[in-house]
Amino acid sequence: METIFDMRNVSYTYVGKINALNDISFRVTPGEQISIMGSNGSGKSTLLSLLNGLIYPTLGEFYAFDSQIREEVFDAIKDNEFRSYFRKRVGFVFQNSDVQLFSSTVFEEVAFGPMQLNMTPEEVKTRVTEVLELIGITKLKDRSPHTLSGGEKKKVCIAAVLANNPDVLLLDEPTAGLDPRTQLWLVELLQELGRVGKTIITATHDLETVAQISKRAIVMGEDHRIVVDGDVEKVLNNRELLLSTNLIHEHMHVHGKVMHEHLHAHYREHIHEHKN
């Protein structure tokens, strides 16, 4: 079976000083739904940027679709066939929607990707209309991005990425800042995309959605290394692991299979011994 991504002992440092990833190795096969979990600053976003070929390993090797991704090959040549192939197959939904919405209308935003892939204007039009319909944002098509709400912006970002019809979807904190209804809509969409065979890799620390959108979890530690790579249920049931990686606080509880967080004061409501 073709390997989608293969990371071999990859490390990444920003400006040669700040360590963002340390000795990362894992493989991704087609149709997998993976959550990359980790606390703030553990390197999740950097890992996704690497997987999207936007930055390159400082150490180690990164292969996508069985070809090595290196700056000299991937970035230097203007009309690089492999890069076009890679961009068509891999889509990236950024954490900050405003970064991704640079066109003047929603329609143009969604059309941007297909235009870059040399589709004819008629094909682009059909594709954009279909995607807007799929995401349910047809009525927004003539709006400017700055007039949209946070949830609408996220929907447009996802539509813009899906317009390229990628096989692999990378999402950086997709549920962050969304209201419950939009969160649920997103979870259902990702489940549906998973069912039709898309490979979905999501970076998140939202434990509630992890179990719903993925089967495999890669947990990043605060030392920027992979702590665990395994079945999502096992990871979520491993309280010690989640505590040590700063994904839960001591005040989190598990009710049945669902992890809940209750905000409460120590006084009266909840009394327990602290280790130190």
Partner 1 sequence: MEEAFVSDNFSKCDGFLQSLDPRAKLVSFLTLIFATSLIRDLRLLIFVYMLTLLFAYISKIDLLFFIKRVWLFIPIFAGIIAMPMIFNVFFPGDPLIRLAYLSPGTHLGPFSLPDSIYITKQGVNSAVIFTMRVAACVSVVVLLFLTTPHQVLFKSLRSVGVPKIYVFTLEMAYRYIFLLTDMVREIYIAKKARTIKTGGMFDEQKWVGGRIGYTLIRSLDMSEKVHTAMMSRGYNGDVKIMQEFKMRNRDYISGAITVSMSVLLVLISQNIIR
Cβ proximity to partner 1, 129 vs 244, nearer residue: 129
Burial state string for 233-252 with b = 16 or more CB within 10 A and e = fewer than 16: eebbebeebbeebebbeeee
What is the pattern of x (binds partner 1, CB under 8 A) and - over residues 52-71?
Answer: x-x-----------------
Q: The tokens of 82 are what?
A: 């492999």
Residue 251 φ then ψ, to 5°: -85, 10
What is the pattern of x (binds partner 1, CB under 8 A) and - over residues 74-113?
Answer: ----xxx--xx--xx--xx-x-x-xxxxxxxx-xx--xxx
Can you tell me the distance from the alpha carbon of 276 to that of 257, in angstroms, rounded to the nearest whole number?
Answer: 29
For the bound state, the minimum distance from the C-beta of residue 95 to partner 1, rounded and expressed in Å, comes to 10
DSSP 117-138: TT--HHHHHHHHHHHHHHHT-G
Q: Does 174 bind partner 1 (CB under 8 A)?
A: no
The span of 19-27, 114-122, 174-182, 232-240 binding partner 1 (CB under 8 A) equals: 114-122
Q: Does 118 bind partner 1 (CB under 8 A)?
A: yes
Near partner 1 in 148-167, by CB under 8 A? 160-161, 164
Kindly state the greatest CA–CA separation across the chain.
67
Near partner 1 in 229-268, by CB under 8 A? none
Can you tell me the distance from the alpha carbon of 209 to that of 202, in angstroms, rounded to the nearest whole number?
Answer: 10
Q: Give the interface size with partner 1 as a residue count (CB under 8 A).
A: 39
Can you tell me the distance from the alpha carbon of 37 to that of 221, in angstroms, rounded to the nearest whole number?
Answer: 9
- Interacting residues with partner 1 (CB under 8 A): 49, 52, 54, 78-80, 83-84, 87-88, 91-92, 94, 96, 98-105, 107-108, 111-113, 115-118, 121, 124, 144-146, 160-161, 164
